[in-house]
Each structure stands twice: as C-alpha cells, then as structure tokens.
Amino acid sequence: MKIDSHIGHCVSEWRRKAGLSQETLAQTIGLQQTAVSKIEAGKQSLTVGQLLLVLDACGVSDPEALSHLRDGASGSMKPLWERIDE
C-alpha cells in the first residue's frame, strides 16, 4: 500500500472514531472538505503540520498514531533506497 493511501485510510478511521464529518475536520485544520476527501482517498499528501493538526482534532495520541501508521507500513519495511522506484 502506498504511503498516501495508508495515511489517508488512517485519517478516515481517526476522523470517524472521533465522530467528525469531513467538513468539521476540514474547518478545524484549515482545509477545504474536498482536500480532506482527497487525503482520505490517498490522492493528496499531508504535511507533517497538517498531520499533527488531524491528530489533535481527532484526539489521537502521537504514540497511538505512530503505532497505527507503522502497522500499515510493515509490509514495506525495506530500506528507503530499495523502495525509491516503487
């Protein structure tokens, strides 16, 4: 799974668990609803700052987020230089 798709899936899951709509999350983090939709679909990347805002808005702790993100990346644990062309 590509990283943007995995992060998007995580954002969607965190948002839903927090009981937020895409529109509410978008307003909270300063984006348009269409941007949140694209992020969740894996079609738009997040900056680190935006990711931190999402975590805060959804009430997700940094360790919980890292664990969740790491779980999805476990299939691609090759070093970066081996994945550069993927």
Which DSSP category does 50 fall into?
Answer: H
User: What confidence score (pLDDT) does residue 34 get?
Assistant: 97
Q: Place 77 in a pLDDT band, splitting at 50, 70 and 90.
A: low
Q: Place 75 in a pLDDT band, splitting at 50, 70 and 90.
A: low
Q: What is the pTM of this model?
A: 0.81
d(CA 75, CA 27): 34
What's the mean pLDDT in 40-60? Answer: 95
Residue 10: is its pLDDT beyond 90? yes
d(CA 73, CA 66): 10
Residue 17 carries which side chain, given as an amino acid letter? K
What's the mean pLDDT in 31-46? Answer: 95
